[in-house]
Amino acid sequence: MNKYDVNKDGYYGEFGGAYIPEILYGCVENLKNNYLKVLNDPSFKQEFYQLLKDYVGRPSPLYLAKRLSEKYGCKIYLKREDLNHTGAHKINNAIGQILLAKRLGKTRIIAETGAGQHGVATATVCALMNLECIVYMGKTDVERQHINVQKMQMLGAKVCPVTSGNMTLKDATNEAIRDWCCNPSNTFYVIGSTVGPHPYPDMVARLQSVISEEIRNQLVEQEGRNYPDYLIACVGGGSNAAGTIYHYLGDERVKILLAEAGGKGIDSGLSAATIQLGKVGIIHGSRTLVIQSEDGQIEEPYSISAGLDYPGIGPIHANLAKTHRAEVLAINDDEAVEAAFELTRLEGIIPALESSHALGALAKHPFKPEDVVVLTVSGRGDKDMDTYIKAMNEKSNKIYY
Ligand SMILES: *Cc1c(COP(=O)(O)O)cnc(C)c1O
């Protein structure tokens, strides 16, 4: 327990809480009263860790990136969540929540998805556990993330295109909440990030905290000490970052750098830099920073990365920024693409566009030669190939094959 953890009312400083419609009160209360009991239960832990090991392929390597280190003049380790089954960190959370749902006697799983990564992870675990799975996805995203839609369908999930609002992640989340309100008794809502009403942010952070648990052990082996000088991760809703920093929050020797999506620039009107641009408001059941207009209408965010263009931010991270426990950097589209090509050419690793924002932070902060930096590569770049090729062709008029 440290001062950055959630308090008994579900708040991180002034952020968090559970702002939910009356009809969901029972469900959320039930979850709140049971999640810690289940997560700490030895039989849950056994099943969870066994699947993380044999199904996901954990522990994910902590890789000393020598050429990248040379470039930035410090010692950079990459936490390789890109090597997980289904290609990102999302699977850790999906397995945990669905094991929990089964223990709470729920038979129907619903989820929201933006780029489709959380939808694919949820559909994957539902196939594994033979559960009904419904995924809400904005129609715009259905069209631009077609491969992930096909994967979810092949896995047996029903994908529901959402046609309200801008037809993206925010609208898909609204629709999933609507479904949950209609089916509170048999349905479990698997949220894909450290967002939503309490206890979701804390629950998701705990399920992803396996990332920092492993970092601790791997650093002892490779560095002879269990902490780094810096942790770096990208933040959309904040789950890979929360997992990366979880066991280090109370350790002030460890500096935290969070990379949010600057889009075309924070002053351009086309940005998803919620921590820098947001004002306090309520989104999807949580009091946090929200990108909103003067009169409180949620505004459509923009980022080249579909996984980062959410108009809110997890309450954990809003509080870390407010208390200056974390330093937040906005990384623009072109900086992220540049960083992706750099990692690819230096280390032979093609990162997800989201992760490329974390990599883009390396150029924005000074490091000393003895600094040990751990940067989480949250996912792999397979899904982003079209964007990478297009962005680079536009920039240089060169054709990359
Ligand atoms: C979804 C996603 C993210 C953003 O979500 P967080 O909850 O902020 O981690 C980042 N990277 C990848 C690869 C993703 O799929």
Tens digit of each residue's pLDDT (9 = 90 or more) over 212-268: 999 999 999 999 999 999 999 999 999 999 999 999 999 999 999 999 999 999 999
**Which element (helix H / strand E) includes 103?**
helix 90-103
Tens digit of each residue's pLDDT (9 = 90 or more) over 130-153: 999 999 999 988 988 899 999 999
The yes-or-no answer on residue 112 being catalytic is yes
The separation between CA 139 and the C-alpha centre of its own chain, rounded to angstroms, equals 21
Residue 158 is which amino acid?
K
- Residue 132 main-chain phi, psi, to 5 deg: -65, 140
State in Å: Cα 29 to ligand 1 middle.
27
Q: Is 193 in the pocket of ligand 1 (CB under 6 A)?
A: yes
Contact between 229 and 372 (Cβ < 8 Å): yes
The structural domains of the chain, ordered by start, are 19-52+89-203 (3.40.50.1100), 59-87+209-396 (3.40.50.1100)
Q: Is 88 in the pocket of ligand 1 (CB under 6 A)?
A: yes
Tens digit of each residue's pLDDT (9 = 90 or more) over 73-113: 999 999 999 999 999 999 999 999 999 999 999 999 999 99
Q: What is the pLDDT of residue 398?
A: 58
Q: Is 237 in the pocket of ligand 1 (CB under 6 A)?
A: yes
Q: What is the pLDDT of residue 224?
A: 98
Whether the predicted model's global pTM rises above the 0.85 cut? yes
Contact between 186 and 101 (Cβ < 8 Å): no
Q: What is the pLDDT of residue 397?
A: 63
Ramachandran assignment for 255, one of left (phi > 0), alpha (psi -120 to 50 degrees), beta (any other): beta
State in Å: Cα 115 to ligand 1 middle.
9
Please tell me the total number of residues recorded for the chain in this structure: 401
Residue to probe by mutation, ligand 1, list 202, 231, 239, most atoms within 8 Å of CB: 239
The yes-or-no answer on residue 90 being catalytic is yes
- Residue 62's pLDDT band (cuts 50, 70, 90): very high
State in Å: Cα 22 to ligand 1 middle.
30
Average pLDDT rounded to a whole number, residues 191-219: 98
Buried b (16+ CB within 10 A) or exposed e, 351-372: bbbbbbbbbbbbeebebeeebb
CA dist 367 and 373 (Å) reads 9
Q: Is 286 in the pocket of ligand 1 (CB under 6 A)?
A: no
Q: Is 380 in the pocket of ligand 1 (CB under 6 A)?
A: no
Q: What is the pLDDT of residue 391?
A: 80
Task: Give the residue among 268, 277, 337 at the shortest CA–CA distance from 311.
Answer: 277
Checking if the pLDDT of 401 tops 60, the result is no
State in Å: Cα 310 to ligand 1 middle.
11
Q: Is 87 in the pocket of ligand 1 (CB under 6 A)?
A: no
Tens digit of each residue's pLDDT (9 = 90 or more) over 31-42: 999 999 999 999
State in Å: Cα 397 to ligand 1 middle.
30
Contacts of 306 (CB under 8 A, 6+ apart): 114, 115, 116, 141, 144, 145, 169, 353
Q: What is the pLDDT of residue 165?
A: 86
